[in-house]
Amino acid sequence: MTMNRFATTPLLAAVLLACAAGAGASSHREAPFIATSPKVDGTDFYMFRSYETGRSEYVTLIANYQPLQDAYGGPNYFSMDPNALYEIHLDNNGDAKEDLTFQFRFTNTLAAGGAGVTLPVGGKNVAIPLIQAGQVANVRDANLNLAETYSVTLVRGDRRGGTASALTNVATGATVFDKPVDNIGNKTIPDYAGYAARHIHTVNIPGCSIPAKVFVGQRQESFAVNLGTIFDLVNAPVAVITNPANIGALPNTIGDKNVSTLAVEVHRSCLVAGTETVIGGWTSASLRQARLLNPTPPSGHQASEKPGGAWVQVSRLGMPLVNEVVIGLKDKDKFNASVPSGDGQFADYVTNPTLPALLEIALALPNTAPRNFPRTDLVTTFLTGITGVNRPANVVASEMLRLNTAIAPVPFAQQNRLGIVGNILAGGNDNAGYPNGRRPKDDVVDISLVAVMGGLCVANGNTNALGFGATCNPSQVPLGATSLALHDAVDQAVVPLLPGFPYLNTPLPGSR
């Protein structure tokens, strides 16, 4: 890649940089505007060959929204926004433009035709203040005061001008799907795992002859990080974060949170185009351009506003942590409104990343940032894909998660939490992990720390075995082999997960 080509393409080289700081989940309240609109704040995106027994020919796509949910957050909890458009985009020819988009729209309806559940009090029927009137166990349970439903539309081509078709329920043909209520607590929903499982829908996708699965609902936060410590100028001893024996020395500070998940599992043959096996993916959320607030709202659920105008994208997420700790504060809202094909406008954040310099300051380790400018090691790994692993035959460099659907999945127990970096460090056969897609077990923080501080250049060596180019010179990595041992002292691999779709764990209950 030439310098000119490099400079006109996306931002992300510092992708890992993001992770490097280990900042919270992928994207929690990372930009000024999105911090005010948590219902459309995308937090993490996962894309991987399914490793559930018997499902290895499928690809799982998971988009998380609404960060840092406290399980006890009643009485309204965390329903999705009916005035928003949530999307998962896939590029299957390497041109940095979406070819397939899964669009999710939500409807939240009060029981009794919008009147809500009422109780007789003193001779009058009065609406109850809670979203449940008793114990909940079934889909469309009679005790639910609020019904959450959604539709999923597949758009082929441009997300706004392409051909749109609705996903349908295999059993009923319906285009509307039920979403489970959040995990209010063990008294309200004694068997939440069983209740939620009844909301996994088998669906037909137009243009795909093999049925897929879809699930939308609350899950336990699947990302592990020592959040407060990291943002407090990495308030951890250098001796701890450079010693591999301490990968689990600190607690996961967001392990007691929940998140809202949109998950789809699709046969890989339905996602690729021609002979190209690499797909790129990212998520977004959009709101209407105008919003009118009613100063005297009528009775009803969410009747205080009326949106209108064109869709405006307010959230974007591909690789983890990019907007959080790579993009400059002045451009964070701009990045959330951008698309991969326009990533050249963020080139300075890649060619001259600030995170290594910030780490020098935070850790009081002067002159330890890599000097291999331009950072072709990061550009190759995170903007174009690695040759022979997840680089499309014809690629426009851009920020997105890339997955080679031809690489077989690895069973959970055998997965290397460091993915491809783990193979470089210790050898092995696990090329099915980050940055080749992203699995829930992949420790993207530790992988990114190694990459951002030049560890991949050290592994690349003078032979350029990984194809990162001449600028990836081990002599320009002051930390040397120490960069290969960096970690955030929180172990992603111990986060509780399910063995199959939707993979993310049952959400924590509001009370036990």
pLDDT of residue 277: 98
What is the average per-residue pLDDT within 196-214? 98
CA 264-267-281 angle, to 5 degrees, is: 55
Question: What is the average per-residue pLDDT within 80-102?
Answer: 98
Residue 11 has pLDDT above 70, yes or no: no
Residue 329: exposure state from Cβ atoms within 10 A (0-12, 13-18, ≥19): exposed
pLDDT band of residue 276 (cuts 50, 70, 90) is very high
- Flag whether pLDDT at 1 surpasses 50: no
How much is the pLDDT for 447?
A: 87
Instruction: With respect to residue 398, please indicate whether it lies within any of the assigned structural domains.
Output: yes
The per-residue pLDDT for 18 is 33
Mean pLDDT of 8-13: 30
pLDDT at 432: 95
Task: Name which residue leads in pLDDT, 162 or 242.
Answer: 162
Give CA–CA dist 171/111, Å, rounded.
25
Q: What is the pLDDT averaged over residues 111-117?
A: 93
User: Which comes out higher in pLDDT, residue 169 or 376?
Assistant: 169
**Is residue 502 situated within a structural domain?**
no
Per-residue pLDDT for 253 more than 80?
A: yes
Name the percent of the chain lying above pLDDT 90: 64
In percent, how much of the chain has pLDDT > 70?
93
Q: What is the pLDDT of residues 464-480, one digit of tens each?
A: 666 677 778 888 899 88
Which DSSP symbol is given to 79?
A: P
Distance CA 168, CA 205 (A): 7
Q: pLDDT value at position 465?
A: 61
Residue 189: both structure tokens together:
């929903």
Residue 465, in any domain of the structure: yes
Q: What pLDDT, on the 0 to 100 scale, is given for residue 409?
A: 98
- Strand, helix or coil for residue 228: helix
Identify which has the larger pLDDT, 82 or 386.
82
Cβ atoms of 318 and 400 within 8 Å: the answer is yes
The pair phi, psi for residue 4, each rounded to 5°, is: -65, -45
pLDDT value, residue 463: 64
Report pLDDT for 15. 31
Does 129 fall in a domain? yes
Q: Is residue 182 over pLDDT 80?
A: yes
Taking the CA atoms of residue 370, residue 373, residue 376 and residue 379 in that order, the dihedral angle to the nearest 10 degrees is 80
Q: What's the pLDDT tens digit per position in 290-341?
A: 999 989 988 888 778 899 999 999 999 999 878 877 888 999 999 899 999 9
Non-local (6+) Cβ contacts of 450 within 8 A are 16, 418, 421, 456, 483, 484, 486
Amino acid at 306: K
Whether the per-residue pLDDT at 6 is higher than 60: the answer is no
Domain that holds residue 16: 3-494
Q: What's the burial of 310, exposed, middle or buried (CB within 10 Å: 0-12/13-18/19+)? A: exposed
What average pLDDT does the chain have? 89
Question: Per-residue confidence at 450, pLDDT binned at 50, 70, 90?
Answer: confident
Pairing assessment for the beta strands 146-156 and 177-179 based on DSSP bridges: antiparallel
| Any domain includes 302 | yes
How many separate domains does the chain show? 1
Quote the CA–CA distance of 8 and 95 in Å, as a whole number. Answer: 14
Residue 208 has pLDDT above 90, yes or no: yes
In tens, the pLDDT along 475-497 reads: 889 988 888 888 889 999 999 99
Does pLDDT of 16 surpass 50?
no
pLDDT tens, residue by residue, 17-76: 333 333 334 567 788 888 999 999 999 999 999 999 999 999 999 999 999 999 999 999
**Rounded CA gap, 216 and 228, in Å?**
29
What is the C-alpha separation between 399 and 373, in angstroms, rounded? 19
Q: Is the pLDDT of residue 10 over 70?
A: no
Q: Over range 417-423, report the average pLDDT.
A: 85
Judge whether 500 lies within some domain.
no
pLDDT beyond 80 at 501: yes
Predicted pLDDT of residue 17: 32
Confirm whether 38 is domain-assigned: yes
* Vertex 262 angle, CA 144 and 400, to 5°: 160
Does pLDDT of 384 surpass 80? yes
pLDDT recorded at residue 13: 29
Residues whose CB is less than 8 angstroms from the CB of residue 149 and which lie 6 or more positions away in sequence, other chains included: 106, 107, 108, 109, 176, 177, 178, 179
**Do 403 and 278 meet the contact criterion of CB atoms below 8 Å apart?**
yes
Do β-strands 257-267 and 177-179 pair in parallel, antiparallel, or remain unpaired? unpaired
What pLDDT, on a 0 to 100 scale, did the predictor assign at position 26?
A: 57
Q: What are the two backbone dihedrals, phi and then psi, of residue 439, each rounded to the nearest 5 degrees?
A: -105, 160
Q: What is the pLDDT of residue 227?
A: 78
List the single range of 164-168, 339-343, 371-375, 397-401 with lowest mean pLDDT: 371-375
Lowest mean pLDDT among 245-259, 351-365, 400-414, 439-453: 351-365
Predicted confidence at residue 414, as pLDDT, reads 94
Q: What is the structure's pLDDT at 437?
A: 97
Instruction: Confirm whether 79 is domain-assigned.
Output: yes
